[in-house]
Amino acid sequence: MDFEEAADAVYAAPAADFIATRNELAKQLKADGDALGSTRLKALRKPTVAAWIANLVARKLPDELDDLLALGDEFREATADLDGERLRDLTPKRHRLLDKLSKEAARLAADEGQKVSADVGQKLRETLDAALVDPAAGDAVREGRLSSALRHVGFGVVDENGEPSNVTPLTDERRQAARDRRKAQQAEPAAPAVSKKEAGESAAERKKREAAERERQEREEREAAAKAEAKQAFEEAVAAAQEAEAKVEELDTELDNAREALSEAQARVHRVGSELDEARRAARDAQKESREARKRYNRL
């Protein structure tokens, strides 16, 4: 058994048996000469209830999970094209699929003897939704080794009406191409009317219209700049939060390792103390026997 197989086995174990399974397999890896794999396995964190159920879904319902991730691909494609109508069509499908998968997950958990509280159910749904929205989260859920529930908090969501909110970051070229397509589609049916209007305009009216158009464009540019600045600030805040979460996870792992080392040290102290007490008793008995032997010798 290598590390990957052992890790899969650990996260497939019942939640109550996670620590025991992890420690037993870590010993086995070490005995097989894989010290690094043993150390890596010991560092695996016990999953929360919601994470354990998400891992169960990855193992028991792989096809349904793939359907969810495929829907996420459709969302990203529609968002890249700024296709609001398609996003509005996809949003009800998103909710129906999340409802269905959450219910099936709760049923699987019940079959394994695990109750699903309202809080756990909500965290499970957030995890599945994060898998839909974010490809990296989708890969993590599909792997089936989550230790914590997931929640998408950055850019990469759509609102309840299905309007895009940057599901995936777009390059400037792709964003501009999408805008050009939309402008071309909007301009085509309106072109004849605009031409007639312009034909009947006086110089003063045309000048006024052009000034209004310039003002509109400048306003849109200011709004776009403000949105870009707000987006950058938000992304920096999200990055800082993710870095902090990673640090917390690292320290949490160190704490688990330290606690395990402390437990082993305490057991060793107890064992050595017992051995010391036994050695002292043996020494006293030997001294007593020595004195008795000396007395018998002196009587001779």
Q: Are 9 and 25 in contact (CB under 8 A)?
A: yes
Q: How far apart are the C-alpha atoms of 58 and 131, rounded to whole Å?
A: 11
Q: Provide the pLDDT for residue 160.
A: 31
**pTM for the full predicted model:** 0.52
Q: How far apart are the C-alpha atoms of 264 and 26, rounded to whole Å?
A: 15
Q: Are 179 and 83 in contact (CB under 8 A)?
A: no
Write down the domain spans for the chain. 3-42, 49-166, 172-218
Q: Which residues pair with 165 in a beta bridge?
A: 157
Model pLDDT for residues 219-256, shown as the tens digit of each residue:
777 777 777 777 677 667 766 766 776 677 678 778 87
What lies within 8 Å, CB to CB, of 49 at 6+ separation is 15, 114, 116, 117, 120
Q: Which residues pair with 119 in a beta bridge?
A: none
Q: Are 47 and 146 in contact (CB under 8 A)?
A: yes
pLDDT band of 300, cuts 50, 70, 90: confident
Task: Report DSSP letters for 6-55, one per residue.
Answer: HHHHHHHS-GGGHHHHHHHHHHHHHHTT-HHHHHHHHTPPPPPHHHHHHH
Q: Are 129 and 93 in contact (CB under 8 A)?
A: no
Q: What 3-state DSSP class applies to 170?
A: coil
- At 98, the amino acid letter reads L
Model pLDDT for residues 86-119, shown as the tens digit of each residue:
888 888 889 999 999 999 999 999 998 888 899 9
Q: Provide the pLDDT for residue 85.
A: 85
Model pLDDT for residues 132-189, shown as the tens digit of each residue:
988 888 888 999 999 888 887 654 433 334 444 333 343 445 445 545 654 665 565 5
Q: How far apart are the C-alpha atoms of 265 and 191, rounded to whole Å?
A: 82
